[in-house]
Structure 1
Amino acid sequence: MIESTTSPSPVPSEIFAGFLLLIISIAVLLILRYYLPLRTTPAFLLVPVFFALWLPASMVLLVPIDLASTAAADNIDNRGIWLEPRALLVSWRITYWLTFCLTWFILPILAEYSDSGYRDPKEKVLDSLRANAQYYAFVFGAGVLGLIYVLISYGNFSTSLKSTVMALAYCWGLILAIYLMGHGLVAIPRRLFRSANISGSLRKIQSQAPRVYEKMEDAEMNLEDLEIQVAELSRRKGGSVNLFQDWIEELVDMMNLPESAQPSRASVLRGSGDASSRILPTVITETYMADLTRRLVRAKHARSRYVNEWNRLLLDAVKTQAILDSAASKKLDFGAASPHAGFWERHTVLTPYTRFLFHYHFVPYARLGLAAVLTLASVCIVWSEIVKGVLPSFSIIRYSVVHHWEGENGQVGFAGQVIAALWMLYMCAAALTSITEVKVWRGRALVRRNTAHESAFWYASQVARLSVPLSYNFMTFLGGIYRDTVFYKFLGQLINLTPLGTWFDYLFPAFILLPVGATLFGLYGKVRRVFGFGVDVIDDDGDDSENNTYGTGSWREGRDLIERELNGTSTTIRGRRAEAAARIAGSGAGPAGSRAAPVLSVPRTSRGAPTSPLGTSPNSRPSAMNTSARRGASASSSRGGGVGTEPEDENFFEALGHRFKNTMDTFDTPKWLQDIKKPKWMGGDDDFSGASGSHQHRRSGGAGNGNHNSDVRRWFGGNDGRVRL
């Protein structure tokens, strides 16, 4: 009797894998919908960005399937979701080479194409290639050197070329992935730990308010300058301007100015006369028009970015303050939901009391518990990176994924596949979170429903670039079992083709201790403070103890700024721009005939004093400034100079005197000091007796009697705002 044997079919696993890919596709579409308007976004952006996110997400599914498919034939029952080796090889080839082309060719060219200011598609493509020429020169130069080394070491040209391309792409991606992942492994748990403290979260929000508000004002001022150039360009007639009339009309439509701002802006241009025409070159060229278009588009997206950050900061401040205040009443009500709020924010089944219990008690403890779990996971990842090349049997991740051991051979079941997917998700989240915190990428940012096209391409390219190195790096945690996978035979053998590639693959991940230590001990902030860098590097989310006093970025200043904005006492930026433009038009072109930039400032008010709208006090001090030019403009205005008057430059001692006076004016006189009577040689007056009279005299600085002015600057030569030595 012949005994028939039937081999197991991978069809159930294929159906389950296809269902998971469908879920991944829906998740990617929801992410794109969150950051981009799908209906108005062109297809040349949506399609490559979709695949740049979908392919890395599919690797999180493909790696566990590859690990389970390497089980021995007599242990089929121990497998989880598995596929045939041929199907796995085709899947890896498609995934890898599509990701490679997107990372190194398609996305960079499309990013510069979308950022180009030219109108003609051919000119856009040529401009994109010119912008990427230096990038490709570096890539091909490194490829030629690597090819020579591999050709000498191995000797086979066809294998050497393929190995060089894949190994160099992997090495560059691994360098970036290790650095970003090391920062994220510390930053994510620490952020959860700190967000569990409600009062600390509120103070953190308040300390960020002046910086965000100042950047929003700077973005508005930069956009205004560009809009004035476009407005002046539209008023020109004849000459080279006629060649670009349609282009200029498109820029005018792009500005989308409100009706109330247009008369003021036109009066500014008429009042400034020849000065405003100096903004534009004598001959208008296509290069100038392209550059103006590029800068205008970037300025609009920068303004949208910081307005979005400011609105989100206000919402977070209101919500956090409401949670903190609910401790007394044991009831929490956030009020009416925003029209742009999500489904879960508009609909809730919680009562005010259960909402208080959830947000005040449950959420902080849940964040602490999750932070503790992620801290342990970060320690395990860092430890596995260090010991995988020397003592692979001590890797913690190896034993958490491989559960079925037969001698020295291990097999991955369904539970191990789920755990492996969770490990990879956390590693990718740590690296990708760090990308969003980097502030040196030419102002790129992800904005809800309004992300710039160039920013979308750039972030998608980073996701694609990090996916393959992180996937292969995770497989190396599992010891010798990963050498039986299809992924190792496709990529790993080419990386380990030379001794240099083998040593790099095993030893370089140990350098993860550098970004981990730098983030853990706040090295980024210390370096920035010591060397005074003008740009923001990765935010180490350090302690804000240095910002506990009044000054730029202090939490008290942010608290007052948020209160003024929420109470409606701070006028809108667009309204202040129109008022500043009207004042400039009325004051003329100034002594030198140059256009004076509008000064955007917010008055400082004491906590207990009633607030007043902007411009009611001539001595109002800006709340969110740290640039010397804007300090000089504000100081010139407070000394009595009109807005149209060109502010004179301050030297060091003048600026020191102004800062010292502004600081002294914000102090509240202690009660014990109010009862002390000043002697006559210090400007005392017997007519002002008693605590209230003495306090009023001190607060006014002796305004009632100019001979008894007690301003401290009088000791250094007078009270005219200058300090003499």
Structure 2
Amino acid sequence: MSQPATLLLQSQTPIGSEIFSIIALVIISIVVLLIQRYYLPLRTTPAFLLVPVFFALWLPASIVLLVPIDLASSAATEDEGARGIWLHPRALRVSWRITYWLTFTLTWFILPILAEFSDSGYREPKDKLFDSLRANAQYYAIVFGSGALAFTYIIIRYGGFSDSLKGTVMALAYCWGLILAIYLMGHGLVAIPRRLFRNANISGKLRRIQAQAPRVYEQMDDAEINLEELETVVGELSRRKGGSATLFQDWIEELVDMTNIPESQPRTTNLPRSEGDPSRLLPTVITEKFMADLTRRLVRAKHARSRYVSEWNSLLEDAVKTQAILDSAGSKKLDFGRSAPHAGFWDMLNIFTPYTRYLFYYHFVSYAHIALGGLLALASACIVWSEVVKGLLPSLSVIRYSVVHHWSGDSGQVGFAGQAIAAFWMIYMCAAALISITEVKVWRGRALVRRNTAHESAFWYASQVARLSVPLSYNFMTFLGDDIYNKTVFYKFLGQLINYTPLGKWFDYLFPAFVLVPVCATLFGLYGKVQRVFGFGVDVLDDEDENEISYGTGSWREGRDLIERELNGSSSSIVRGRRGDARSSTAGGSRAAPILSVPRTGSPLTPLAASPNGRHVANTSARRVGPSSSSRPGNYTEPEDENFFEALGHRFKNTIDTMDTPKWFQEIGQGIKKPKWMGGGDDDGGGGAASVSSTRPQPGGRTNSDVRRWFGGEGRIRL
């Protein structure tokens, strides 16, 4: 910033900027509360969860506001009209210290301890705390061990420790957060635009929903069976009236209250039997550790059941809505019916007529997905390019010129427009990283569930949000060049400590270029290929491979049948049958894998009945949209499950089957017997095994010839 601009800012009071900042913080607080309310019931959630999670979300959001203000305050424009929101350096320094150290404390100490505290199965708070500290002991041993090695390196290399301890701690925390942030952001930069492009195709979206149905249905059924087994163990435990069980009667009664087994239902029918005695499942002596483990497993099983039931219900709603949009192409009218009782405000808002709703969902939304996907794909390319070139050629960074609009010689200045664009870049980078967290499948079953998120999951996701905010914010500022971000208060507070050693400086400049690794892996479907080659049992990241949703076990056809059965109300018998098979297998000592394939019942073209809640239920079969082909010859499309050669064979077969065979052709060969070497008999004129039955006349003058057999196979075209 030039000297006249500096003197001008020091002589002014940023009253307007301070009012704007306060209003923005209030809006951020309201948004964070709404997010908490969406995933957690505020009335029944304890304060020790709501308060830390609130600050873990509020502080990163305030960083997105604080970085543009820091840029405009340190590189303010001389034109007062183009000047953005700015604050005094002292206010910025205090804000950064409070924000950073609160985020650091929440990420590395408070949230991990509270997460294990809430996941512990013990009853007393003191026992829960000690159990949490034992669970985090290994984690802290690794963290402090790495910090001790780095601190030793600083002492040996520089011979002093005036700023080494604080700098080492902050640099190590930044480096670990940057590694995780770059990997997750690289995946999200590809996944977000690709998802928008794919959702623009309504039929493709429906097929992907149907392809996900078998996996979600299987997981929901497994969660139900696991919960029932644990509930039955609790029921058997409650039958013990003597011995060591008497010491934990209150605890056992609490577990019984958590279960859903009626008093009239036998509690031993679902237990895997060992030598005919179900009590052998329980230890001879009931200990506090056993009770805590059983409590933890039961709570996790209940949340897992709630998670997969919520996913299944959401999948059904998406399938019905998507099928209704697809079917509206023929009638030009779209009606979703009455809204569900738990629907949000926008779902209950009814401002469209059936025709305008069709135009909005069938045309406008599709084109909006394409336009937004193209814009975000361009933004992703700019971010990746800026990450690659910022270390060697920072002047080629696209983000640099999109934020810095005013130049005074070689020094750049940031105005209000640059602040708004900088906020957009930061929001998109953080969204790419956070969306990737929700797609990762290896986080010990953690998930965000609407109104019923497990406490441990809420702590864990909040800690990831807090951990990624500071590295992504500083990484964004390095896009702007040394002449811009070296003047900021954020650099003087954190950047100098990261660049305290050459190792940290080179890591900060070169490591972000490895964003190409997750970008290429996601772009070319490397995760799915690795999974297929090595046969991993879990999905590392969701590739949404088109080939994976069309063939094999759990294909879209099976998902279509499962959705139809669920909407017809007939899937409950399937669930009971699968649970019965699982229980019978557990009686033999081990639980078999759930049966995924189910037989078809009825035609997929049969319209579905209305759902119990009164909403319009669309047909979820993969049929063509609109009127028959005879009424729209110019817009006819082949079914999606046929390739070109299959369709060609069907047309040839239909043409030949509808031709009347001439009488003279039918009389050829009558009375002429085949020789024995061709399989004919003396008393059978062509009734041998080699008789040409495919061209034998049928009643009505038709033949059952199938020209597709000429290409080989049984009625299917082959190359």
1:154 to 158, 163, 177: 158
Whichever residue aligns with residue 378 of structure 1, its letter is S
Separation in 1, partners of 2:465, 2:96: 17
1:300 to 281, 302, 321: 302
Give the match for residue 434 of structure 1.
436
Separation in 1, partners of 2:310, 2:450: 8
Does the Cα contact within 8 Å between 1:66 and 1:487 map onto a contact in 2? yes
Q: Shift in Å at residue 289 of structure 1?
A: 0.6
Separation in 1, partners of 2:590, 2:171: 56
Whichever residue aligns with residue 422 of structure 2, its letter is A
Does the Cα contact within 8 Å between 1:388 and 1:477 map onto a contact in 2? yes
**CA, structure 1 residues 237+14, in 2 after alignment: closer, same or farther (shift >3 Å)?**
same
Separation in 1, partners of 2:378, 2:405: 20
Give the match for residue 139 of structure 1.
143
Give the match for residue 490 of structure 2.
487
Q: Secondary structure at the match of 2:412?
A: strand
**CA, structure 1 residues 605+113, in 2 after alignment: closer, same or farther (shift >3 Å)?**
same
Give the match for residue 568 of structure 2.
567
Separation in 1, partners of 2:277, 2:605: 41
Q: Which has the larger radius of gyration?
A: 2
Q: Shift in Å at residue 149 of structure 1?
A: 1.6
Separation in 2, partners of 1:374, 1:535: 29
Give the match for residue 172 of structure 2.
168
Equivalent positions of 1:29-40 (< 5 A) are 29-40=33-44
Whichever residue aligns with residue 567 of structure 1, its letter is N
Q: Secondary structure at the match of 1:158?
A: coil
Give the match for residue 605 of structure 1.
600
Does the Cα contact within 8 Å between 2:185 and 2:433 map onto a contact in 1? yes
Does the Cα contact within 8 Å between 2:106 and 2:463 map onto a contact in 1? yes
Separation in 2, partners of 1:610, 1:10: 67
Whichever residue aligns with residue 215 of structure 2, its letter is R
1:505 to 503, 508, 511: 508
Whichever residue aligns with residue 302 of structure 2, its letter is K
Q: Shift in Å at residue 11 of structure 1?
A: 1.3
Does the Cα contact within 8 Å between 2:75 and 2:414 map onto a contact in 1? yes
**CA, structure 1 residues 353+74, in 2 after alignment: closer, same or farther (shift >3 Å)?**
closer
Give the match for residue 534 of structure 1.
537
Separation in 1, partners of 2:238, 2:159: 65
Is there any run of 5+ residues in structure 1 with no aligned partner, and where? Answer: 612-669, 683-688, 692-725
Separation in 2, partners of 1:604, 1:679: 37
Give the match for residue 708 of structure 1.
none
**CA, structure 1 residues 492+271, in 2 after alignment: closer, same or farther (shift >3 Å)?**
closer
Give the match for residue 524 of structure 1.
527
Whichever residue aligns with residue 135 of structure 1, its letter is Y
Equivalent positions of 1:412-427 (< 5 A) are 412-427=414-429
**CA, structure 1 residues 106+309, in 2 after alignment: closer, same or farther (shift >3 Å)?**
same
Whichever residue aligns with residue 459 of structure 1, its letter is Y
**CA, structure 1 residues 233+402, in 2 after alignment: closer, same or farther (shift >3 Å)?**
same
Does the Cα contact within 8 Å between 2:274 and 2:281 map onto a contact in 1? no
Give the match for residue 410 of structure 2.
408
Give the match for residue 212 of structure 2.
208
**CA, structure 1 residues 530+497, in 2 after alignment: closer, same or farther (shift >3 Å)?**
same
Whichever residue aligns with residue 608 of structure 1, its letter is S
Q: Shift in Å at residue 341 of structure 1?
A: 0.4
**CA, structure 1 residues 509+282, in 2 after alignment: closer, same or farther (shift >3 Å)?**
same
Separation in 2, partners of 1:18, 1:66: 15
Give the match for residue 366 of structure 2.
364
**CA, structure 1 residues 605+353, in 2 after alignment: closer, same or farther (shift >3 Å)?**
same
Separation in 2, partners of 1:441, 1:679: 67
Whichever residue aligns with residue 516 of structure 2, its letter is L
Give the match for residue 11 of structure 1.
15
Does the Cα contact within 8 Å between 1:79 and 1:411 map onto a contact in 2? no
1:326 to 303, 313, 328: 328
TM-score (norm. length: structure 1): 0.80
Give the match for residue 49 of structure 1.
53
Equivalent positions of 1:380-399 (< 5 A) are 380-399=382-401
Does the Cα contact within 8 Å between 2:14 and 2:86 map onto a contact in 1? yes
Equivalent positions of 1:214-225 (< 5 A) are 214-225=218-229
Does the Cα contact within 8 Å between 1:154 and 1:498 map onto a contact in 2? no
1:121 aligns with 2:125: yes
Give the match for residue 227 of structure 1.
231
Whichever residue aligns with residue 527 of structure 2, its letter is Y
Q: Secondary structure at the match of 2:571?
A: coil
Separation in 2, partners of 1:679, 1:146: 89
Separation in 2, partners of 1:16, 1:609: 58
Can you list the C-alpha shifts for 1:547-577, whole angstroms capped at 9, x where unaligned?
Answer: 434x421001111111111111222678668
Does the Cα contact within 8 Å between 2:221 and 2:575 map onto a contact in 1? no
Does the Cα contact within 8 Å between 2:40 and 2:451 map onto a contact in 1? yes
Separation in 2, partners of 1:596, 1:212: 19
Can you list the C-alpha shifts for 1:368-427, whole angstroms capped at 9, x where unaligned?
Answer: 000000000000000000111111111100111011110011111111101000000000
Does the Cα contact within 8 Å between 1:228 and 1:265 map onto a contact in 2? yes
Give the match for residue 496 of structure 1.
499
Does the Cα contact within 8 Å between 1:69 and 1:79 map onto a contact in 2? no
Does the Cα contact within 8 Å between 2:448 and 2:458 map onto a contact in 1? yes
Separation in 2, partners of 1:185, 1:563: 35
Separation in 1, partners of 2:128, 2:515: 40
Separation in 1, partners of 2:126, 2:573: 42
Separation in 2, partners of 1:185, 1:25: 27
**CA, structure 1 residues 546+576, in 2 after alignment: closer, same or farther (shift >3 Å)?**
closer
**CA, structure 1 residues 401+469, in 2 after alignment: closer, same or farther (shift >3 Å)?**
same
Q: Secondary structure at the match of 1:410?
A: strand
Can you list the C-alpha shifts for 1:36-95, whole angstroms capped at 9, x where unaligned?
Answer: 000000000000000000000000000000000013695555420000000000000000
Q: Shift in Å at residue 335 of structure 1?
A: 1.1
Q: Secondary structure at the match of 1:37?
A: coil
Separation in 2, partners of 1:149, 1:43: 42
Separation in 2, partners of 1:681, 1:160: 91
Whichever residue aligns with residue 466 of structure 2, its letter is A
Separation in 1, partners of 2:481, 2:129: 47
Q: Which deviates further from its counterpart, 222-231 or 417-426?
A: 222-231
Whichever residue aligns with residue 545 of structure 2, its letter is G
Is there any run of 5+ residues in structure 2 with no aligned partner, and where? Answer: 1-6, 607-652, 658-685, 691-696, 700-719
Separation in 2, partners of 1:579, 1:213: 16
Does the Cα contact within 8 Å between 1:217 and 1:600 map onto a contact in 2? no
Separation in 1, partners of 2:574, 2:32: 36
Q: Which deviates further from its counterpart, 353-362 or 77-86?
A: 77-86
Separation in 1, partners of 2:416, 2:296: 51
Does the Cα contact within 8 Å between 1:112 and 1:131 map onto a contact in 2? yes
Equivalent positions of 1:46-125 (< 5 A) are 46-71=50-75, 76-125=80-129
Equivalent positions of 1:269-284 (< 5 A) are 274-284=276-286
Q: Secondary structure at the match of 1:189?
A: helix
Does the Cα contact within 8 Å between 2:64 and 2:427 map onto a contact in 1? yes
1:240 aligns with 2:244: yes
Does the Cα contact within 8 Å between 2:112 and 2:136 map onto a contact in 1? yes
**CA, structure 1 residues 679+406, in 2 after alignment: closer, same or farther (shift >3 Å)?**
farther
Does the Cα contact within 8 Å between 1:217 and 1:573 map onto a contact in 2? no
1:354 aligns with 2:356: yes
Give the match for residue 557 of structure 1.
558
Whichever residue aligns with residue 333 of structure 1, its letter is D
Does the Cα contact within 8 Å between 2:208 and 2:549 map onto a contact in 1? no
Q: Shift in Å at residue 207 of structure 1?
A: 0.6
